[in-house]
Structure 1
Amino acid sequence: MKTGLPTALRLGAAAAALVCAAGVQAQAFPAAGKTITLVVPFAAGGPTDKVARDLAEALRKPLNGATVVVDNAAGAGSTIGTAKAFRAAPDGYTLLVTHVGMATTPTLYRNPGYKYEEFEYLGLINEVPMVVVGKPALAANTWAELNTWIGQNKGKVNLGNAGLGSASHLCGLMLQNALKTEMTTVPYKGTAPAMTDLIGGQIDIMCDQTTNTTSQVEGKRIKAFAASTAKRVAIPAVYKDLPTLDEAGLKGFNVSIWHGLYAPKGTPPAVLKTLNDALKVALKDADFIKKEEGLGAVVVNDARVNPADHKKFVAAEVAKWGTVIKAAGQYAD
């Protein structure tokens, strides 16, 4: 006597199992051969671009060797690229790497094309000190001398920045507020042209990220006067004996620029977990840490690598920078 399911039923069940398995395989993330794109809302060669390219390399291994590339979509104070990532398909293959601009845009722009709170938060990447730097021919070599020179040239000091909402713009606002003085602000379309003019002497000073200033200071193409953070910059070979602004007399001055990783709203929870797990591995990658430390950046290793804590941190930054920007009365359309 024959037992078991009829042949037709057994074949049907096998076919259904194959279809199911194929469906599971199709949903695996990242799928073989698919590229993950990190949208950077700033020009190539800038500080955020450098961070994103280092991160792209570190993410490949924990993402099963997936190809991870950077797409620079600069313009309008980072809103063009950020909006591009916001509108991307929520499948995990288009992500956003951006800096503190995520927290300043809500105040700077009435309608940037996205809502910061509607992104899927994946985790904070690093924090970057900033340094007050000056043109090589500046008649000052220490912070005390620079402070005196600024006081003697009120209304004549040209303070450069990389554009509205840029890290250098924000630090410049804080610096003017702390010194209780106004400078002639000179905005550029990116960090590179601003630095070029600082080296050439067309502008006097700038407050910019160590990811951008370190090689220029090391090459003696610009002068460094003070760090913006509570702790000194951990690159003694370049910033030997460089004081913090707090140490130099601007008590409580503490500005660092952070970078975070985001996904479009609606990205599946399983994909978000895979990406967050990969980020945590990448942030412990020895080569990534070495590259970031070489630029003065501190890789995040606290609770802010978790989505919920990352989002809570950004909300607090929105409130903090909103106060500064409103006090300065600087807004975009």
Structure 2
Amino acid sequence: MALKFSTAALLPVCMAVMAIATPAQAQDYPAKPITIIVPFTAGGPTDKVARDFAEAFRKQLGNVSVVIDNSAGAGSSIGVAKAARAAPDGYTLLLTHIGMSTIPSLYRKLSFNVQDDFEYLGIINDVPMTLIARPTLEANNYSELATWMASQKNGVNLGNAGLGSASHLCGLMFQDATNTQMVTIPYGGTAPAIADLLGGQIDLLCDQTTNTTAQIAGKKVKAYAVTTPERLEGEVYKDVPTLAESGLKDFNVTIWHGLYAPKGTPQAVLTKVNDALKAALQDPEFIQRQKDLGAVVASDNRVNPAEHKAFVAAEIDKWGTVIKAAGQYAD
């Protein structure tokens, strides 16, 4: 005789099984390698941060293998979309930079919502920016640079590493702060942009210390200012003023990196990941590696999920205004 079960009768059983399975999953986590999606190419500044973080992170999770998946393209939106579609089990995470707060304004059509489709896990670091110029530019300080920019009837050639890149965002903010319209030249990455700056094909570039410190130290470029409220430490930057003290009041641009999981990842797993993140940020080797890159490891409340999400929401509003004013976005 065939047995019949109603959906209503099975529902409590299914819920009970799920309730038992979720804690067991969390208790065993991690039981296999973890993949961190980085939505930028290998060898770039975000990839470097991710690989350094992965080394410190895995040690906090029993030396589990942590694999970096570089899924680059479309200003990071390809990799972010891939992370949003991943199974919410804690085995696929996303590590990305400030682009998490700018792609909603830069791209009109996205398959994901950065605020609704992710679990926020914490900010990892902050990376200052530097305003640099080709070595042959005659201005020797920011005051002279401002005068030179005002004299350029054909415009100033301002390079960047592509739509949504850190240098693109800093360039937008710089143009807004100086009320100037520059000739923006996007490249397919930081390396070709710096190569053309060194060769004199472009005039200015505003990029991360992770990309510019070696060039400044070798006197291969002219450094006019840093974008942080306070001057940077270290021999390389001891004579480099801030843009704020150079006359651009309240100018402050740093490129931060954060960690995310797909929406629906069990809370117990999220707690384990956040605990491991906080411990990794106190790893002396990781701290030193970041210092060597000119980056500062996060130590404030943004290492907590709620504060991380609130911070990104504020950044979305901030950059949305700048990007809308510039009218620079993709279809």
TM-score computed with the length of structure 2 as normaliser: 0.90
Q: Which amino acid in 2 is paired with 1:214? A: T
Partner residue, 2:139: 140
Partner residue, 1:306: 304
Q: CA deviation at 1:35?
A: 1.7
**Paired residues of 1:45 and 1:192 also in contact (CA < 8 A):** no
Q: Which moved more, 1:246-255 or 1:211-220?
A: 211-220
Q: Which amino acid in 2 is paired with 1:120? A: E
Q: CA deviation at 1:207?
A: 0.4
**Paired residues of 1:122 and 1:262 also in contact (CA < 8 A):** yes
**How do residues 248-263 of structure 1 correspond to structure 2 at under 5 angstroms?**
248-263=246-261
**How do residues 178-327 of structure 1 correspond to structure 2 at under 5 angstroms?**
178-235=177-234, 237-327=235-325
Alignment partners' CA distance in 2, 1:215 and 1:84:
34
- Provide the secondary structure at the position in 2 that maps to 1:132: strand
TM-score computed with the length of structure 1 as normaliser: 0.89
1:198-242 CA distance string (max 9 Å, x none):
12222111000111111121222222110111011222x111210
Partner residue, 2:65: 67
Q: CA deviation at 1:140?
A: 2.1
- Provide the secondary structure at the position in 2 that maps to 1:84: helix
1:54-100 CA distance string (max 9 Å, x none):
10111111010011121111110110111111111111111111111
The answer to whether structure 1 residue 49 and structure 2 residue 47 are counterparts is: yes
List gaps (5 residues or longer) in structure 1. 1-19
Alignment partners' CA distance in 2, 1:24 and 1:228:
47
Alignment partners' CA distance in 2, 1:230 and 1:25:
45
Overall identity of the aligned pairs, in %: 66
Q: Which moved more, 1:243-252 or 1:295-304?
A: 295-304
- Provide the secondary structure at the position in 2 that maps to 1:185: strand
Q: CA deviation at 1:27?
A: 5.7
Partner residue, 1:150: 149
Alignment partners' CA distance in 1, 2:25 and 2:162:
46
**Paired residues of 1:42 and 1:190 also in contact (CA < 8 A):** no
Runs of at least 4 residues off by over 3 Å: 23-27
Q: Which has the larger radius of gyration?
A: 1
Q: CA deviation at 1:196?
A: 1.9
Alignment partners' CA distance in 2, 1:107 and 1:254:
20
Q: CA deviation at 1:171?
A: 0.7
1:231-283 CA distance string (max 9 Å, x none):
11222x11121000000011111111111000111111111111000000000
Partner residue, 2:125: 126
**Aligned-pair Cα RMSD in Å:** 1.7
Alignment partners' CA distance in 2, 1:312 and 1:94:
23
**Paired residues of 1:135 and 1:205 also in contact (CA < 8 A):** yes
List gaps (5 residues or longer) in structure 2. 1-19
Q: Which amino acid in 1 is paired with 2:152? A: N
